[in-house]
Amino acid sequence: MQLQNKRALVTGGSSGIGEAIVRRFLKEGAKVMLADINCKLAEDVTNDLSKLYQDIYWINADVTIDQDIYNMIDKTISILGGIDILVNNAGIPMVGTVEKLSSEDWDIELDVNLKSIYRTSKAIWPYFKAQNGGVILNTASVAGLIGMPGQHSYSTAKAGVIMLTRCMAIDGAPEGIRVNCICPGFVKTPMADSFLKSQDNPEKTKKYIESLHPIGRIGKPEDVASGFAYLASEDASWITGIALPIDGGSSAGSAN
């Protein structure tokens, strides 16, 4: 077990990639606090997982609210006995060009997908310093590595996550704090399904997206969770400041 007795806090842990991370961390022996803004979903997932694992808990938290973040961290430390791993996974999609995207949607996108990582990392940093180390893992995206049409605010936020990760990694290294991010390609999640349903021709769009991944398929949440488990483990103790694409080869270039 890669994460035996490690204590992890996972934001946005109730569905998609976040849920897969929670499940993988538990399988690897970690104690996990699942944080999410959706109470019903968080409770349902936790109840389901508690049939297999003892050390799974949930808390309601809005990562755009400072007090929620501090409460989330304090409660996690109280219940788990500490935190070794923070996974900043909470996020939302936002489609729109510069011409059509409203300034309000732009602000919401960057607040949830980028500033929340700053907020949560800032809140936990003194705790990690005091215990001489910790791991911060951020969910970025291939959209933060390469330009994509209609993804202006989303891609900008995810590119910001990558640079924030690198800067925090440099600051954290002398204090034993490792910071990395993962850049998923197109992964079958509720968020991705919602995007496909919004298209004029969902099946045509799906086939086009598949063609952008040289491996020839859309990713599974479990594909991405494997990378998080590795970077959270002691096997990755000499790795910090990276943006790891888990994307079926899409960032290498189209197969077509």
Active site residues: 154
Q: In the block, which residue shows the tokens 């995206």?
A: 141
Nearest to 221 by CA among 246, 199, 204: 246
Largest CA distance in the chain: 53
Question: Dihedral of CA 14/248/151/114: which sign?
Answer: positive
> Is residue 188 exposed (0-12), middle (13-18) or buried (19+ Cβ within 10 Å)?
middle
Q: Which of 179, 176, 157 is nearest to 242 (CA)?
A: 179
Query: What's 63's DSSP letter?
Result: T
Nearest-Å Rg of the Cα atoms of the chain is: 18
By C-alpha distance, which of 161, 151, 39, 159 is closest to 105? 151
